[in-house]
Amino acid sequence: MNVKGIIYLTGKSTIIKVFGEEPWNAFVPKLAAKDKFFGNIIMSVTPVPLDKFILFLDELVKEFFNNDMMQYVTFGKVAAQFALSEDGMYKSYLLIKDTKQFVETVMPKFWSTYFDEGTVITKFENNVVHLKITGLKFKHRYFEYLIMGYFQKSLKMFGKKNVPKMVRSMSSGDDDVYYQFELKDS
């Protein structure tokens, strides 16, 4: 499975914005020393193998966030904000106005926009968004948190406050990943 380089670039721009360019420039050589892949130029369309992407995130968390792995949720939210904002490359995804259509048609596109493996199935019923991810060959809880943060933020940017709940997790031994997002009054 590969992740598109846009997520790496989102992390880079966020770290520079929060911590400055100097800490980022000090971080990259240390990352490249752990894996030579990161010595290459990574563009928005560069396929980043999932294991390298997770290494990047793990090292980012160690370096900048005192090894707080719950920052994966924050990374997901930042990625959604970056991509779906007024200046974001995927802002057109927020043009849909019907909640059911947004959930069932647009939200699965988020997954295929960033990843080349796995399937996302979404359903909207009784004011709850059901999101299932199947067909993955890896188990990493923190990656699942990143996805939860992304979808939570995308719903909020769509105008729907929500409370996420992880129902099933591959990293806990389940066959799929299943989240529910209960929508609240906006």
**Listed residue (137, 107, 139, 145) closest to 124, CA to CA:** 107
Cβ–Cβ contacts within 10 Å for residue 132, how many?
A: 15
**Listed residue (138, 139, 122) closest to 130, CA to CA:** 122
Q: What is the pLDDT of residues 104-131, one digit of tens each?
A: 999 999 888 888 899 999 999 999 999 9
What is the value of pTM for the model shown?
A: 0.86
Q: What is the pLDDT of residues 83-96, one digit of tens each?
A: 899 988 889 999 99
Q: What is the pLDDT of residues 37-67, one digit of tens each?
A: 999 999 999 999 989 998 998 999 999 999 9
**Listed residue (118, 146, 143, 147) closest to 133, CA to CA:** 118
Paired tokens of 97: 């106005």
Q: What is the pLDDT of residues 133-146, one digit of tens each?
A: 999 888 888 788 88
